[in-house]
Amino acid sequence: MFHEPSSWYRRTSGGGIVRVTFSECILGLYHRACEHADKVIDELDLDAPARVAHWPVDRRGTTLGFLWVRMATETANHAGHAGIVRELIDGRGGPDHDMLDDGSWRDYVARVAAAAETFRPAG
């Protein structure tokens, strides 16, 4: 089981202690979690039993394979969210955005936005 409390401090090469930024803390934790996951995947079979403590009691028991597929799905989902945010920022679509000129792309975005607005709750 991977469990590590977040730390806002780290030791310097000279033995001192410095406060880390939020990004350093989160990215460090993420990299250590990835290293742990890599080790688990290398050492266990996909049908190895697993348990998720925060899931409902009747569904806590699962397998490494199920969790691997779930994490791949979650990662793809959140990468999609990041893609949407990027598109909102730069106004460009995904890898096929160059199939339309700027005017056609703006028209397409306007049509999609208008269609989405039809589902906005009144009020």
DSSP code string of 27-40? HHHHHHHHHHHHHH
Full-prediction pTM beyond 0.85?
no
23 and 58 both lie in a single domain: no
pLDDT band at 112 (very low <50, low <70, confident <90, very high): confident
61 and 24 both lie in a single domain: no
Task: Give the span between the Cα atoms of 7 and 17, in whole angstroms.
Answer: 11
84 and 63 both lie in a single domain: yes
50 and 18 both lie in a single domain: no
**Domain containing 98: what range?**
92-123
- For the segment 8-53, what is each residue's pLDDT rounded down to a tens digit? 777 788 888 888 788 888 888 889 989 999 999 999 999 999 999 9
19 and 32 both lie in a single domain: yes
Q: What is the tally of structural domains in the chain?
A: 3
55 and 29 both lie in a single domain: no
Residue reference for tokens 């979650």: 74
* Token output for 116: 């989405």
The whole-number pLDDT of residue 61 equals 96
DSSP single-letter state for residue 25: H
